[in-house]
Amino acid sequence: MTSVTPEQTATPEQTSPEQTAATRQSATAVKSIAAEKTGARTAEAAGVITGARARIDALDDRIIGLIQERMAVSAVIQEARIASGGRRVNLSREMEVLGHYREALGKPGTALAMTLLELCRGRV
Q: What residues make contact with ligand PRE under the rule CB under 6 A?
A: 74, 77-78, 89-90, 93-94, 97, 117, 120-121
Question: Least Å distance between CB 113 and ligand PRE?
Answer: 9
107-121 helix and 91-105 helix, angle to the nearest 10 degrees: 140
**Nearer to ligand PRE (CB atom), residue 77 or residue 112:** 77
- 113 burial type by CB count under 10 A (0-12 exposed, 13-18 middle, 19+ buried): buried
**Nearer to ligand PRE (CB atom), residue 22 or residue 75:** 75
Question: Least Å distance between CB 85 and ligand PRE?
Answer: 15
Element (H, E) at 41: none
**Nearer to ligand PRE (CB atom), residue 23 or residue 115:** 115
Rounded Cα gap, residues 61 and 67, in angstroms: 10
Question: Least Å distance between CB 72 and ligand PRE?
Answer: 10
Let me know the angle formed at the C-alpha of 119 by 114 and 122, rounded to the nearest 5 degrees: 90
**Nearer to ligand PRE (CB atom), residue 56 or residue 91:** 91
DSSP-assigned letters across all residues of 89-114: --HHHHHHHHHHHHHHH-HHHHHHHH
Question: Least Å distance between CB 106 and ligand PRE?
Answer: 20
